[in-house]
Amino acid sequence: MTSPGSVGVVETSTARIFDDGFTTRSGTTLPFVDVAYETYGTLNHGRSNAVYICHALTGDAHAAGFHEGDTRPGWWDNLIGPGKAIDTDQWFVVCSNVLGGCQGTTGPASVNPATGEPYGLDFPLLDMSDFVAVHRGLARHLGIERFAAVVGGSLGGMQVLQWSLDHPEDLSRAMIFAASSRLTAQNIAFSAVGRQAIMRDPDFHDGRFLSHGTVPGKGLSVARMLAHITYLSEEAFQEKFGRSAQGGELSPNFGIDFAVESYLEYQGERFLSRFDALSYLYLTRVMDYFDAFADPGSLDSLKADPVKFLLVSFTSDWRFSTEHTRRIVRHLEGARIPTSFREIESAWGHDSFLLELPDYHATVKAFLDRAAEEIA
Amino acid sequence: MTSPGSVGVVETSTARIFDDGFTTRSGTTLPFVDVAYETYGTLNHGRSNAVYICHALTGDAHAAGFHEGDTRPGWWDNLIGPGKAIDTDQWFVVCSNVLGGCQGTTGPASVNPATGEPYGLDFPLLDMSDFVAVHRGLARHLGIERFAAVVGGSLGGMQVLQWSLDHPEDLSRAMIFAASSRLTAQNIAFSAVGRQAIMRDPDFHDGRFLSHGTVPGKGLSVARMLAHITYLSEEAFQEKFGRSAQGGELSPNFGIDFAVESYLEYQGERFLSRFDALSYLYLTRVMDYFDAFADPGSLDSLKADPVKFLLVSFTSDWRFSTEHTRRIVRHLEGARIPTSFREIESAWGHDSFLLELPDYHATVKAFLDRAAEEIA
């Protein structure tokens, strides 16, 4: 094993799956699905060392390493790599862009072969199980029948939970960070206001903005700024920015004066270059409607074929507080599913799951070490 | 004394004050200021029973009673009236719309006599002390030199604090609820995103929307929806709405489906009929820049002429949490100013200061009873 390092230069591949059509839970059939994905490490001969990474709302398939010429690594590079908590000397790691996304996987901005135009709002509404079905399609394409672990934070963690409920036979271990089994009214409210900002932008054109050669950038950046407030704790905002001026001294006006305003504007603008407004609508709506344990029989498959769970929450996360994680734990323990739960001390809020916090990464590593013993 | 009741039918009056011009802290002179105000109860012969009410961000002069034909009373009617905590059988109550507002007091939507057009963004940026100066102008106009108490919640409480610091000789008691001496980075962030939603609305027209015969309604309603999330606790949202559908069953789509979405949309739409987008910018910006104790000499006048303070916070208020109130208490106690502080148990968040909570109203009444003894 080398010392912690980088998986190096990587690139995103695309696989066309479901050539005979993919039918969503809502009953609409897409003629095929393209999935963007990356892999790190080497699949062993027994095909037993695969780990699947599910990304959060605005993530993508590029979890680790560097794209040619880039100076910033993938979004979870601090966790995934040689000698890191998800050790690519040991594990074969797969990460894909979700269905409905905008980073290479089929989504509302993709061209509908039936019309030659982007799907737009004709793209079907999605369900968490649709994400899982597409992940499974990619797994089959890669020749993997079972994962040693499936891992994700926030919306990624919700996918892990749904996968465990839908097809527990696919995974030995589920690792769910800063997630929820169902959103609260306040969670939905924040998403709803973000969507309203997008849909009320005159450049939204009822979702047909691509055909109009425009994007609802004002609304999308407002949605992103708003969401960002919920990703950090109040303490983190205060620590990072306090009441300091963006440059030198405060100079009262209606523009950007406080440092926190400059930060939010930067986040809003930067988002426009990498995210599609329709994907934002589709993916947030999957979260709103997600209610993992609503069906009384939801845990039946899992009871018959128990997956081992690790659930992690972060003390200052007010987007999906520890109470959200506790609810998942209660359901799992009520069904006698083996469940480890750790609340990690962190001042950084919801985004903590993306950060290199020693206790957190040690917890991940220890849980995966036990998986390694099982397949040894 | 009658049993708790209503002040009955009232109307808003307007006084023109500062006929020789009013110069703001920023150094701009307005030719005059019109102030919309209401009064309830009777001023006694000694003019010693006056109480001034300062309203919050989106309030107005109509605090109690009913306007002719209205079925809903003023915004603080549960607190103000015969036999109520602020008993109009005892107190002469004055409430005015703030400078920069849009409910009758001179503000950015008022006509600039120099141009015959609305001020728009030519209206000067305001400071908390400008609000206080205009309140004092109205007091002189009404022949009141000193108030038994000055009372306010949220932005209203900030005005009370500033008044106590600027002119402690004007008041015997200061009553400050759910307020702050300075906003945190997160507080500013929420306001900033609301303003961005307004200013990015194409109907904003660089603030000259009135001359274009339009209003930035989409942005203003998004700002209002967002702000509303911060006025209620997560628990209150969950209690009121949970995950219930707006009508019958959930029916997945991108429109209004969850009850909480319907509520927010209603709040956003209703706001348009009564509030001006420019006033929203001006008043939120006063809050952002407010930093009551920034000047090391800020407490000097108050030390020489102590006002008695009552500070109230609410357990579930995450907009201005108890920590904000504690900071004010620490400053006042450090200056040996007589200070009472109560944290009231409430599940309803920031808006608690507007609600009829028995402990809260009893606290207000007890504090005013002592004021009554002093002037008896």
SS3 annotation, A74-104: CCCCCCEECCCCEECCCCEEEEECCCCCCCC
Domains of chain B by start residue, with CATH: 9-182+290-375 (3.40.50.1820), 187-285 (1.10.1740.110)
Q: Which residues of A contribute to the annotated binding site for substrate?
A: 224, 351
Is residue B174 predicted with pLDDT exceeding 80?
yes
B346–chain A nearest CA distance, Å = 17
Burial of B273 per CB tally in 10 Å (0-12, 13-18, 19+)? exposed
Nearest-CB residue to B222 (from A196, A268, A289): A196
Look at residue B2 in the predicted model and tell me its pLDDT: 45
Task: Please name which of B6, B154, B152 lies closest in space to residue B73, comparing C-alpha atoms.
Answer: B6
Cβ-based contacts of A238 with chain B (< 8 Å): 184-186
Is residue A308 predicted with pLDDT exceeding 50?
yes
How confident is the model over B184-198, as a mean pLDDT?
Answer: 98
How confident is the model over A7-19, as a mean pLDDT?
Answer: 97
Q: Is the dihedral of CA B97, B103, B109, B115 positive or negative?
A: negative
Is residue A8 predicted with pLDDT exceeding 90?
yes
How confident is the model over A226-236, as a mean pLDDT?
Answer: 97
Is residue A50 predicted with pLDDT exceeding 90?
yes
The verdict on a CB contact (< 8 Å) between A254 and B285 is: yes
In terms of CA atoms, which chain A residue is nearest residue B282?
Answer: A254
Listed in sequence order, the DSSP H helices in A41-144 are 128-141
Say what percent of chain A tops pLDDT 90: 97
Say what percent of chain B tops pLDDT 70: 99
Cβ-based contacts of B26 with chain A (< 8 Å): 252
Look at residue A2 in the predicted model and tell me its pLDDT: 45
d(CA B149, CA B170): 9
* Alpha-carbon distance values, A193 to A199, A266, B166 (Å): 10, 20, 39
Q: Please, which pLDDT band fits residue A24 given cuts at 50, 70 and 90? A: very high
Summary mean pLDDT of chain A: 96
Nearest-CB residue to B252 (from A221, A237, A289): A289
Please state whether beta strands A111-112 and A117-118 pair in parallel, antiparallel, or not at all (unpaired): antiparallel
**Amino acid identity, residue A183?**
L
Question: Dihedral through CA B41, CA B47, CA B51, CA B52, nearest 10?
Answer: 110
The verdict on a CB contact (< 8 Å) between A285 and B125 is: no
CA B277 to chain centre: 17
Q: Is A96:A61 a contact under the CB 8 Å cutoff? A: yes
Cβ-based contacts of B252 with chain A (< 8 Å): 26, 125, 285, 289
Nearest-CB residue to A185 (from B184, B185, B243): B243
How confident is the model over B41-66, as a mean pLDDT?
Answer: 98
Q: Please, which pLDDT band fits residue B374 given cuts at 50, 70 and 90? A: confident
Cβ-based contacts of B190 with chain A (< 8 Å): 229
Summarize pLDDT for A171-198 with one digit per residue, the tens: 999 999 999 999 999 999 999 999 999 9
Is residue A280 predicted with pLDDT exceeding 50?
yes
The verdict on a CB contact (< 8 Å) between B125 and A288 is: no
Is residue B247 predicted with pLDDT exceeding 90?
no
The verdict on a CB contact (< 8 Å) between A260 and B189 is: yes
Summarize pLDDT for A139-148 with one digit per residue, the tens: 999 999 999 9
Nearest-CB residue to A264 (from B193, B242, B261): B193
Say how many CA atoms lie within 13 Å of A272 toward its Cβ. 16
Look at residue A354 in the predicted model and tell me its pLDDT: 98
Cβ-based contacts of B254 with chain A (< 8 Å): 121, 195, 199, 281, 285
Summary mean pLDDT of chain B: 96
Is residue A373 predicted with pLDDT exceeding 90?
yes
Q: Please, which pLDDT band fits residue A272 given cuts at 50, 70 and 90? A: very high
Q: Please, which pLDDT band fits residue A3 given cuts at 50, 70 and 90? A: low
Q: For B28, list phi and psi in degrees, rounded to 5.
A: -95, 140
How confident is the model over A145-166, as a mean pLDDT?
Answer: 98
The verdict on a CB contact (< 8 Å) between B254 and A186 is: no
How confident is the model over B4-24, as a mean pLDDT?
Answer: 96
**Amino acid identity, residue A20?**
D
Q: Please, which pLDDT band fits residue A375 given cuts at 50, 70 and 90? A: confident
Q: Is B254:A195 a contact under the CB 8 Å cutoff? A: yes
The verdict on a CB contact (< 8 Å) between A193 and B226 is: yes
| Helices B128-141 and B155-166, packing angle to 10 deg | 70
Summarize pLDDT for A343-366 with one digit per residue, the tens: 999 999 999 999 999 999 999 999
Question: How many beta-carbon contacts under 8 Å exist across A and B?
Answer: 140
DSSP for B78-137, please give it.
TTEETTSSEETTT-EEEEEPPTT-SSSS--TTSEETTTTEE-GGGSPP--HHHHHHHHHH
In terms of CA atoms, which chain B residue is nearest residue A226?
Answer: B193
Summarize pLDDT for B251-292 with one digit per residue, the tens: 999 999 999 999 999 999 999 999 999 999 999 999 999 999
Nearest-CB residue to A125 (from B26, B252, B291): B252
Q: Which residues of A contribute to the annotated binding site?
A: 224, 351
The verdict on a CB contact (< 8 Å) between B234 and A190 is: no
Starting at the edge strand found earlier in the chain, the sheet holding B147-153 runs B13-17, B33-40, B92-96, B50-54, B147-153, B171-177, B308-314, B339-344
How confident is the model over B282-308, as a mean pLDDT?
Answer: 97
Question: CB under 8 Å, gap of 24 or more: what pairs does A256-265 form?
Answer: A258/B185, A258/B188, A258/B192, A258/B288, A259/B185, A260/B185, A260/B186, A260/B188, A260/B189, A260/B192, A261/B188, A261/B189, A261/B192, A264/A225, A264/A228, A264/A229, A264/B189, A264/B192, A264/B193, A264/B196, A265/A221, A265/A225, A265/B196
Which residues of A are annotated as catalytic?
154, 317, 350
In terms of CA atoms, which chain B residue is nearest residue A26?
Answer: B252
Which of A205, A221, A222 to probe by mutation at the B interface, max B CB count within 10 Å? A222
Task: Please name which of B289, B91, B233, B301 lies closest in space to residue B175, comparing C-alpha atoms.
Answer: B91
How confident is the model over A242-253, as a mean pLDDT?
Answer: 93
d(CA A145, CA B348): 50
* Alpha-carbon distance values, B121 to B112, B115, B205, B207, B282 (Å): 11, 13, 11, 6, 9
In this structure, chain B runs to a length of 376
Burial of B157 per CB tally in 10 Å (0-12, 13-18, 19+)? buried
Is residue B87 predicted with pLDDT exceeding 50?
yes
Longest CA pairwise span in chain B (Å): 65
Is residue A376 predicted with pLDDT exceeding 80?
no
How confident is the model over B224-231, as a mean pLDDT?
Answer: 98
The verdict on a CB contact (< 8 Å) between A261 and B192 is: yes
Is residue B218 predicted with pLDDT exceeding 60?
yes
Q: Is B171:B50 a contact under the CB 8 Å cutoff? A: no
Cβ-based contacts of A278 with chain B (< 8 Å): none
The verdict on a CB contact (< 8 Å) between A185 and B242 is: yes
